[in-house]
Structure 1
Amino acid sequence: MTVHLKATYRQLKMYIWFVLMIIVLGIIAELIVTYFTDTSEISSLSEGNMIIILLPLMAIALPLSYYKRIVHLGASRQQYFKGLHTVFAVWAAAVALINSIWNVLQMQVFHNYDNTVDLINAFHRNDFGFAGSFLYQTAFYLMVMALLSMLISGYSNPVGWLLSALIITAIPIGTAIPSLRIHVASFFKTLLINDSLLLGVGFNFLLYTVFVASGWLFTRRRVH
């Protein structure tokens, strides 16, 4: 696990620090604007939420580049796949923890929450407490990373192309047809804003399992 974490970090180090630098510059710019102008009516995204962008970046970049490097060094596809999803799990948990801590700091320490949009509150994950919010976030992040990784891993497979096309077109078609719109809304409500922590986390982990299994089917047949 240590080897995979170090190797993937070194491969994505430039992108990770670039994203962090953009976030810091954005915070500085916001502080300057806030100091010189009246921004009481302006809402901004929570700084902690901005780091989430690292997760889809990893889920897309690593299956493309890390696979070639580690397999060419002699690792098996199974070793690569297990290592990749271990890295996903560590980063998903880390980002979820950072967001949960930042949410608490904003409300109880900084007291600047009135004009801040935080995804934890937007999706009512704070209703489950600190631990519940962390668990729900981790499950959702893992599911999304597994989905993106699966699609990228199947980029050279006709089935992968078909699956990508189906997923991309499913949402606009589902929302355009009135009879399907309610089912699409129900799906995303169950996935994102579930009143039950057990059902919400369980549904995300169920999809995660499906995407991981599908990703392995694509990975075991990859030749490049």
Structure 2
Amino acid sequence: MGALAVHLKATYLQMRVCIWGVILLLLLGKLAEFIVGLFIDSSQSRGLSGGNILILILPLIAIVLPLIYYKRIVHLGASREHYFKGLLFVFAVYAAAIAFINSLWVVIEWNVLRNYTTPVNLISAFHWNDFGLAGSFLYQTAFYLMAMALLSMLISGYYHPAGWLLWALLITAIPVGTAIPSLRVHVVSFFKALLFNGSLLAGIGFNLILCLVFVAGGWLFTRGRTH
């Protein structure tokens, strides 16, 4: 556990500029929104929820760490397995932290701030709050982990032709799938199962299955990295 804590501290030091940059932008944006609200009627405001903006930290972590942290820790003598396990632990901690903040923030918005602002909250949009505080937290954590594992896998495969192929498939899959009527229904069903699943267990399970697939792909790329 001590080694994992070292990973967490080291990656925070690596990412602290990005993390605090996002938080600073959030605070400045909310301050500007508050000042403007003093002079105009902002009761119909539909900006994005402040808690949701913190989600930007997660893709930054999933992109930056495989590019920069990998080189530093491997050059210090750590094995690729050690690096990869530490990376997954860091992903889990940050995904759970952001999910916890958002789960509490949506409650505050609905019970305290709803008379002053009406932002769009992704938890409400995806109906994750229908599962209660604990269910919303678990669904978010599973989804965030899956998304971070996907990004990390794609970034880790930048040196390999298979990685570029995955990028090409991902970029073309959604536009092609939505443009062809026979495929569109499957694309819609996929995202419905992923984001709008009416069953908490099924939604979490589907996200975790994809997460495991992307983790396996990420490990295959990481195992073969030489730089």
TM range (shorter): over 0.9
1:15 is aligned to 2:9: no
Q: Give the unaligned 5+ runs of structure 2.
A: none
Q: 8 Å contact 1:106–1:112 — kept in the other structure?
A: no
Structure 2 counterpart of 1:20, which letter?
I
In structure 2, C-alpha distance between the alignment counterparts of 1:37 and 1:114, rounded to whole Å: 12
Alignment of 1:1-224 (within 5 A): 1-112=4-115, 115-224=118-227
In structure 1, C-alpha distance between the alignment counterparts of 2:113 and 2:191, rounded to whole Å: 32
In structure 2, C-alpha distance between the alignment counterparts of 1:112 and 1:211, rounded to whole Å: 42
In structure 2, C-alpha distance between the alignment counterparts of 1:112 and 1:217, rounded to whole Å: 51
In structure 2, C-alpha distance between the alignment counterparts of 1:147 and 1:112, rounded to whole Å: 38
Judged with a 3 Å threshold, the aligned counterparts in structure 2 of structure 1 residues 46 and 80 are, in CA distance, closer, same or farther, namely: same
- Secondary structure at 1:44's aligned position in 2? coil
In structure 2, C-alpha distance between the alignment counterparts of 1:123 and 1:112, rounded to whole Å: 22
Structure 1 residue 114: Cα displacement? 6.1
In structure 2, C-alpha distance between the alignment counterparts of 1:163 and 1:123, rounded to whole Å: 27
Q: 8 Å contact 1:120–1:133 — kept in the other structure?
A: yes
Q: 8 Å contact 1:143–1:207 — kept in the other structure?
A: yes
Structure 2 counterpart of 1:154, which letter?
G
- Secondary structure at 1:117's aligned position in 2? coil
Structure 1 residue 168: Cα displacement? 1.2
Structure 2 counterpart of 1:73, which letter?
L
In structure 2, C-alpha distance between the alignment counterparts of 1:112 and 1:178, rounded to whole Å: 43
- Secondary structure at 2:226's aligned position in 1? coil
- Secondary structure at 1:75's aligned position in 2? coil
Q: 8 Å contact 2:43–2:115 — kept in the other structure?
A: no
When normalised by structure 1's length, the TM-score is: 0.98
Structure 1 residue 85: Cα displacement? 0.7
In structure 2, C-alpha distance between the alignment counterparts of 1:112 and 1:120, rounded to whole Å: 19
- Secondary structure at 1:155's aligned position in 2? coil
Same amino acid, percent of matched pairs: 67
Structure 1 residue 44: Cα displacement? 1.2
Q: Give the unaligned 5+ runs of structure 1.
A: none
Structure 1 residue 112: Cα displacement? 4.0
In structure 2, C-alpha distance between the alignment counterparts of 1:221 and 1:148, rounded to whole Å: 17
Kindly provide the CA deviation profile for residues 148-206 of structure 1, in whole angstroms up to 9, marking residues without a partner as x: 00000000001111111111110010011111001000000000000000100000000
When normalised by structure 2's length, the TM-score is: 0.97
In structure 1, C-alpha distance between the alignment counterparts of 2:214 and 2:206, rounded to whole Å: 12
In structure 2, C-alpha distance between the alignment counterparts of 1:204 and 1:113, rounded to whole Å: 35
In structure 2, C-alpha distance between the alignment counterparts of 1:135 and 1:112, rounded to whole Å: 28
Structure 1 residue 113: Cα displacement? 7.4
